[in-house]
């Protein structure tokens, strides 16, 4: 038996914090990203780009601030350094992150923050130009931007933000590889602590602790643990369960490492699998491999989803999004956001390009019985796809540890 048999302390033996072995994204790379964004702005005749606090601002500048109800962000001119917008009381924290540019326009709590924005746009001669607004900008900020520059045209910044972020650099792939290595090892150690009666809550707590010990940014970013029938539902009911002999176990979890996400799922048996469980698990693995094999440079993202569904349909599952079968997309892009462009789903015709990174998770849901999701990630090289993590080995030996 490869599942269970160890205490939590035994399962954590040898787990090391390896954070010192990696290097965060450099200021030089941030400058290259800004330069690419500005080239795209020029091609699109964009006079200014507004980024709200969040992952895109972090991607381009290294400034790590969360979105809130106050206006905080940056305006990129077509040439030159970003200009930051901030509440006055946040300025010291913001300046602690800034490595590119030093122009910070501040506003007091009783002042109109969009007066700062108008001042910046006036300096850039953009009050009647084309202003690209990041797609995650809250509505209140979009309304304020429109109000302070009524003669300007506000346009979607996704061709710029996604145009830069979809294709990861070697440094990004290295950080993502490290995050995924951590989570796969945490999965392996978690499989060792299973025993009859352990609860989903106890398992999730162990996973969070293990992620912290291993040097992730802040433990688990999320954790889905489900047993038996609840494995049939992609995001599982939020109820505590106790493990029983013969249950399938589904664990979907991840962490961040210097902001970059992991997101890995394993499904395996506690006990002896039934013939049906064996069959569905094997179909899932075949569909996951078919999706991987279909991922070739230049092919549309939708074709990878189609390849996975074709496997399921050969076994009488589906068709389309019907269950028993796969009710959601085959995969998603991943990076600084756990779900980001492009997507492995019907209708996404984005051609695969070097540096793109995806989840591969064509889950099979048998509502009322059980489900199987095997989720690993791959990235595109010039020669085709490459796994970040090796797929699961077997339903009763997920990490290939049987002697």
| pLDDT tens digits along 114-169 | 999 999 999 999 999 999 999 999 999 999 999 999 999 999 999 999 999 999 99
Of the candidates 222, 223, 220, 279, which has an alpha carbon nearest to the alpha carbon of residue 248?
Answer: 279
pLDDT digits (tens, 9 = 90+) for 165-201: 999 999 999 999 999 999 999 999 999 999 999 999 9
Decide: helix, strand or coil at residue 72: coil
pLDDT band at 50 (very low <50, low <70, confident <90, very high): very high
Residue partners of 143: CB distance under 8 A and separation at least 6: none
Quick one: pLDDT at residue 1?
Answer: 55
pLDDT band at 75 (very low <50, low <70, confident <90, very high): very high
1 vs 198 pLDDT, higher one: 198
**Tokens coding 6:** 């160890």
How many residues are present in the chain?
403
- H/E run at residue 185: helix 170-191
- H/E run at residue 85: strand 83-87
Residue partners of 194: CB distance under 8 A and separation at least 6: 3, 4, 243, 249, 270
Average pLDDT score over the chain: 97
Quick one: pLDDT at residue 236?
Answer: 87
Quick one: pLDDT at residue 403?
Answer: 65
How far apart CA 211 and CA 222 sit, in angstroms, is 11
**Which letter, b or e, does each residue of 103-114 get, where b requires 16 or more Cβ atoms within 10 Å of its Cβ?**
ebbbbeeeeebb
Quick one: pLDDT at residue 149?
Answer: 96
pLDDT band at 388 (very low <50, low <70, confident <90, very high): very high
Cite the DSSP H helix spans in 219-274: none
How far apart CA 85 and CA 252 sit, in angstroms, is 38
Quick one: pLDDT at residue 401?
Answer: 86
- CATH fold of 44-165 reads Creatine Amidinohydrolase; Chain A, domain 1 (3.40.350)
Question: Are 34 and 220 spatial neighbours (Cβ–Cβ below 8 Å)?
Answer: no
Quick one: pLDDT at residue 214?
Answer: 97
Quick one: pLDDT at residue 281?
Answer: 98
> Ramachandran region of residue 396, left (φ > 0), alpha (ψ -120 to 50) or beta?
alpha
How far apart CA 117 and CA 288 sit, in angstroms, is 48
3-state SS track over 86-121:
EEHHHHHHHHHHCCCCCEEEEECCCCCCHHHHHHHH
How far apart CA 284 and CA 394 sit, in angstroms, is 11
Question: Are 343 and 301 spatial neighbours (Cβ–Cβ below 8 Å)?
Answer: yes
- The reported pTM is 0.95
Residue partners of 310: CB distance under 8 A and separation at least 6: 290
- Domains of the chain, by residue range, sit at 44-165, 167-387
- CATH fold of 167-387 reads Creatine Amidinohydrolase (3.90.230)
Stretch 294-298: mean pLDDT:
98
- Is residue 108 predicted with pLDDT exceeding 70? yes
Upper half-sphere CA count for residue 254 (Cβ side, 13 Å): 25
How far apart CA 13 and CA 189 sit, in angstroms, is 9
- Is residue 70 predicted with pLDDT exceeding 60? yes
Stretch 13-20: mean pLDDT:
93
Residue partners of 38: CB distance under 8 A and separation at least 6: 76, 77, 78, 79
Residue partners of 340: CB distance under 8 A and separation at least 6: 162, 165, 166, 332, 333, 334
Question: Are 301 and 348 spatial neighbours (Cβ–Cβ below 8 Å)?
Answer: yes
Q: How many CB atoms lie within 10 A of CB 101?
A: 16
Q: What is the DSSP letter of 325?
A: B
Quick one: pLDDT at residue 25?
Answer: 97
How far apart CA 73 and CA 65 sit, in angstroms, is 9
Question: Are 354 and 167 spatial neighbours (Cβ–Cβ below 8 Å)?
Answer: yes
Of the candidates 222, 225, 182, which has an alpha carbon nearest to the alpha carbon of residue 203?
Answer: 225
- Beta strand 376-381 pairing with 248-257: unpaired
Stretch 370-379: mean pLDDT:
98
**Tokens coding 364:** 């099979």
Stretch 335-361: mean pLDDT:
98
pLDDT over 90, % of the chain: 96
pLDDT digits (tens, 9 = 90+) for 240-252: 999 999 999 999 9
- H/E run at residue 42: helix 27-43
Indicate the burial class of 360 (C-beta count within 10 angstroms; 0-12, 13-18, 19 or more). buried
Find the angle CA(252)-CA(278)-CA(204) to the nearest 5 degrees: 20
């Amino acid at each position: 038996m490869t599942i269970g048999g160890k205490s939590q302390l035994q399962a954590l033996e040898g787990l090391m914090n390896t954070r010192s072995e990696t290097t965060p994204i450099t200021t030089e790379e941030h400058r290259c990203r800004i330069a690419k964004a500005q080239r795209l702005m020029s091609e699109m005749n964009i006079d200014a780009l507004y980024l709200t606090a969040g992952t895109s601002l972090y991607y381009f500048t290294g400034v790590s601030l969360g979105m809130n109800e106050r206006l905080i962000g940056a305006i990129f001119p077509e040439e030159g350094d970003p200009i930051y917008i901030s509440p006055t009381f946040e300025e010291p924290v913001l300046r602690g992150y800034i490595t590119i540019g030093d122009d910070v326009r501040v506003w007091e709590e009783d002042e109109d923050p969009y007066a700062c924005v108008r001042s910046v746009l006036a300096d850039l001669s953009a009050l009647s130009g084309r202003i690209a607004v990041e797609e995650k900008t809250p509505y209140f900020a979009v309304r304020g931007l429109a109000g302070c520059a009524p003669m300007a045209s506000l346009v979607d910044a996704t061709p710029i933000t996604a145009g830069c972020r979809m294709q990861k650099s070697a440094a990004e792939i290295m950080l993502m590889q490290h995050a995924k290595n951590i989570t796969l090892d945490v999965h392996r150690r978690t499989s060792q602590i299973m025993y009859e009666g352990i609860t989903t809550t106890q398992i999730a707590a162990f996973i969070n602790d293990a992620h912290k010990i291993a040097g992730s940014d802040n433990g688990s970013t999320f954790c889905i643990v489900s047993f038996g029938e609840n494995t049939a539902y992609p995001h599982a009911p939020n109820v505590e369960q106790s493990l029983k002999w013969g249950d399938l176990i589904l664990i979907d979890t991840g962490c961040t490492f210097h902001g970059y996400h992991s997101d890995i799922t394993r499904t395996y048996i506690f006990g002896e699998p039934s013939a049906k469980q064996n069959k569905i698990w094997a179909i899932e693995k075949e569909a996951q491999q078919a999706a991987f094999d279909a991922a070739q440079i230049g092919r549309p993202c939708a074709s990878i989803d189609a390849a996975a569904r074709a496997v399921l349909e050969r076994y009488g599952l589906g068709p389309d999004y019907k269950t028993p079968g796969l009710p959601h997309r085959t995969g998603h892009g991943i990076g600084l956001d756990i779900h980001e462009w492009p997507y492995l789903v019907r209708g996404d015709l984005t051609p695969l390009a070097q540096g793109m990174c995806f989840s591969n998770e064509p889950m099979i849901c048998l509502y009322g019985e059980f489900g199987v999701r095997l989720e690993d990630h791959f990235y595109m090289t010039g020669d085709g796809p490459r796994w970040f993590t090796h797929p699961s080995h077997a339903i009763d030996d997920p990490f290939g540890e049987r002697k």
